C-alpha cells in the first residue's frame, strides 16, 4: 500500500464523506444475476468470469457515489479458477479507480510463512486490497503476520468473532473459563486494535460480528472499543437496522454494515424494481442502496453522519 494514512483514517474519512457506514457486498452468482446476463453466464468458466467482472463493475458504477467501501467475496471468483481470479483483480482495480475502499472477504488463516504469504498477497501485493477478513481459530500467533502487514502497509483486517450463521453457536458460544469462545477472541482482537491504534481512535484490527446477533453486538461493542466492527447479515439474512444499532458509537462511527444480495440483486425485489425494465437493473441497485442508507440513518447512530 502506498497510502500515507492508516486504513482506519481512510475508512473514517470515506464514511464521513459519504455520510453512511453502508458497505455493498459483491457476491456474484450465476442463477441470481439480472436477466440480461444470464444467457452468457451459462457458458464456460472464462465467459462466466467475464460476466462476473462486468456485473460487479457496473454495480460499482451504480454505488460509487453513495457508499464508502465494497466487499468482494473471493470464493465467488475462486470457484471459476484462474479466470475468476483475474476477474476479481479487475473488480478490485475498478473499485479503487472509482474512489472506493476494498475489503476482500477472504477469511484466510494459517501459521508462520503461509500467513505471511496470504497477508502479502492480499494487503500489499498483487491484490492490493485495503483490508481483508481473517479466521483466528489457529490462535493469536496466526494473526500476527496479518497484523504486521497492516502496520507496515497501512492496511486493515477484520477477525471473525461472532459470525452471522446460525451454526456459529456450535463452537463460538461455548463457555471456557466463564467466558464464551467468541468473548475470548474479542479480547484478543481488542488488544491488537489498541496496539495498532496509536494516537487514533480505532486500530487496524477490527472484528466481524453478525447482524443476526443484536445482543452480542452490544456486548462486543463494549468489549472492543478500539475496533471497527464489520456487520454482515443485514437484509436477506435477517438483520434489520435496529438490530445493528449497538455496533456503533454515538457519533455514527465504529461499524460497517454489509448488504450484498438485497442490493446487487435488487432487480428481483418487487418493491424496489417496480416499473423498471431489464436494462434498468442498475437503477434498482441505486434504489436499494438508498433504501439501506436511509434505514441505517433512521434506526442507528449513523444518523449523526448526516
pLDDT tens digits, 79-132 = 999 999 999 999 999 999 999 999 999 999 999 899 999 999 999 888 999 999
Q: How far is the C-alpha of 78 from the C-alpha of 142, rounded, in Å? A: 23
Question: 229 by DSSP, 3-state: which?
Answer: strand
Question: 274 by DSSP, 3-state: which?
Answer: coil
213 in a structural domain: yes
Of 19, 29, 107, 187, the catalytic one is 107
Q: How many CB atoms lie within 10 A of CB 175?
A: 10
Three cell numbers written together for 114: 503461509
Burial status of residue 211 (CB atoms within 10 A of its CB: 0-12, 13-18, 19 or more) = buried
Name the H helices within the chain.
7-18, 35-41, 45-63, 74-78, 81-97, 112-119, 144-153, 169-172, 181-197, 214-223, 261-264, 270-273, 281-299
pLDDT of residue 42: 64
pLDDT of residue 1: 43
Domain that holds residue 198: 7-300
59 in a structural domain: yes
242 in a structural domain: yes
Residue 60 near residue 95, CB atoms below 8 Å: yes
306 in a structural domain: no
2 in a structural domain: no
Q: How far is the C-alpha of 259 from the C-alpha of 237, rounded, in Å? A: 9
88 in a structural domain: yes
Catalytic site residue 71? Answer: no
Question: pLDDT by residue for the chain (306 residues), tens digit each?
Answer: 445 799 999 999 999 999 999 999 999 999 999 999 977 656 788 999 999 999 999 999 999 999 999 999 999 999 999 999 999 999 999 999 999 999 999 999 999 899 999 999 999 888 999 999 999 999 999 999 999 999 999 999 999 999 989 999 999 999 999 999 999 999 999 999 999 999 999 999 999 999 889 999 999 999 999 999 999 988 776 668 899 999 999 999 999 999 999 999 999 999 999 889 999 999 999 999 999 999 999 999 999 999
191 in a structural domain: yes
194 in a structural domain: yes
Q: Is the pTM of this model over 0.85?
A: yes
In CATH, what number is assigned to the domain containing residue 162? Answer: 3.20.20.70
pLDDT of residue 72: 98
Q: How far is the C-alpha of 300 from the C-alpha of 216, rounded, in Å? A: 16
> Could you give the number of structural domains in the chain?
1
Amino acid at each position: 500500500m502506498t497510502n500515507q494514512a492508516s486504513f482506519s483514517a481512510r475508512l473514517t474519512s470515506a464514511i464521513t464523506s459519504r455520510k453512511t457506514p453502508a458497505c455493498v457486498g459483491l457476491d456474484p452468482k450465476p442463477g441470481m444475476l439480472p436477466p440480461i446476463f444470464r444467457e452468457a453466464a451459462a457458458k464456460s468458466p472464462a465467459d462466466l468470469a467475464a460476466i462476473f467482472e462486468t456485473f460487479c463493475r457496473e454495480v460499482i458504477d451504480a454505488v460509487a457515489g453513495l457508499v464508502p467501501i465494497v466487499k468482494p467475496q473471493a470464493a465467488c471468483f475462486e470457484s471459476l479458477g484462474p479466470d475468476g481470479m483475474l476477474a476479481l483483480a479487475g473488480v478490485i482495480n475498478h473499485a479503487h479507480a472509482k474512489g472506493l475502499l476494498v475489503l476482500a472477504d477472504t477469511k484466510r488463516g494459517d501459521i508462520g510463512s503461509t500467513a505471511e504469504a496470504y497477508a502479502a498477497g492480499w494487503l500489499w501485493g498483487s491484490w492490493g486490497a485495503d483490508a481483508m477478513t481473517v479466521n483466528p481459530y489457529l490462535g493469536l500467533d496466526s494473526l500476527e503476520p496479518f497484523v504486521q502487514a497492516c502496520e507496515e502497509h497501512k492496511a486493515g483486517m477484520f477477525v471473525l468473532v461472532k459470525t452471522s450463521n446460525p451454526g456459529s453457536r456450535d463452537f463460538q458460544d461455548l463457555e471456557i473459563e466463564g467466558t464464551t469462545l467468541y468473548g475470548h477472541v474479542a479480547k484478543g482482537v481488542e488488544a491488537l486494535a489498541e496496539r495498532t491504534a496509536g494516537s487514533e481512535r480505532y486500530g487496524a484490527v477490527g472484528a466481524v460480528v453478525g447482524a443476526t446477533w443484536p445482543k452480542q453486538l452490544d456486548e462486543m461493542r463494549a468489549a472492543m472499543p478500539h475496533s471497527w466492527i464489520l456487520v454482515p447479515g443485514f437484509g436477506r439474512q435477517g438483520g434489520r437496522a435496529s438490530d445493528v444499532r449497538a455496533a456503533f458509537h454515538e457519533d455514527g462511527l465504529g461499524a460497517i454494515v454489509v448488504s450484498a444480495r438485497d442490493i446487487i440483486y435488487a432487480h428481483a425485489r418487487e418493491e424496489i424494481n417496480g416499473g423498471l425494465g431489464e436494462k434498468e437493473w442498475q437503477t434498482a441497485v441505486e434504489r436499494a442502496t438508498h433504501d439501506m442508507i436511509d434505514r441505517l440513518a433512521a434506526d442507528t447512530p449513523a444518523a449523526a453522519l448526516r
